[in-house]
Amino acid sequence: MRTILNVIWVIFGGFWLFLGYFLAGVIACVLIITIPIGVASFRIAGYALWPFGREVVPTRSAGVVSGIANVVWFLVAGLWLALGHLITATLQAITIIGIPLAVANIKMIPVTCFPYGKQVVSTRWR
């Protein structure tokens, strides 16, 4: 079932969200000081491309630097990517098949806004 939902996800919005995260990562990697922001964007891009069967969990090593990085990320890219998730979720919720996709989009907004201090893990072995 996860594979079917992931394929439908990629076709009906996941690919465009992936491109948004990928573009944000490429732009962030232009400057040396913002490379960690680019790495976070690439990490979330993989999650945005294939989200079912994975979840976001907090990491224990998050500290003050993660908080500052989250504020910078939110101002530079997080807000715009979260709006992309809201728009995509609204369009997906129009159909019955799209409702689980819309719910997944809404669940991705917190990690979109504040990716530092979080980790994407597989739910396969749970």
> What are the φ and ψ backbone dihedral angles of 118, each rounded to 5 degrees?
-130, 155
Mean pLDDT score, 4-21: 90
For residue range 68-114, what is the model confidence (pLDDT) as tens digits?
A: 888 988 988 889 999 999 999 999 999 888 898 999 899 999 999 99
* Domains of the chain, residue spans: 2-122
Mean pLDDT score, 22-37: 90
In sequence order, the 6+-apart residues with CB closer than 8 A to the CB of 88 are 13, 16, 17, 102, 105
Sign of CA dihedral 17, 21, 22, 24: positive
CA 118/CA 96 separation, integer angstroms: 31
Instruction: pLDDT band for 29, please (50, 70, 90 cuts).
Output: very high
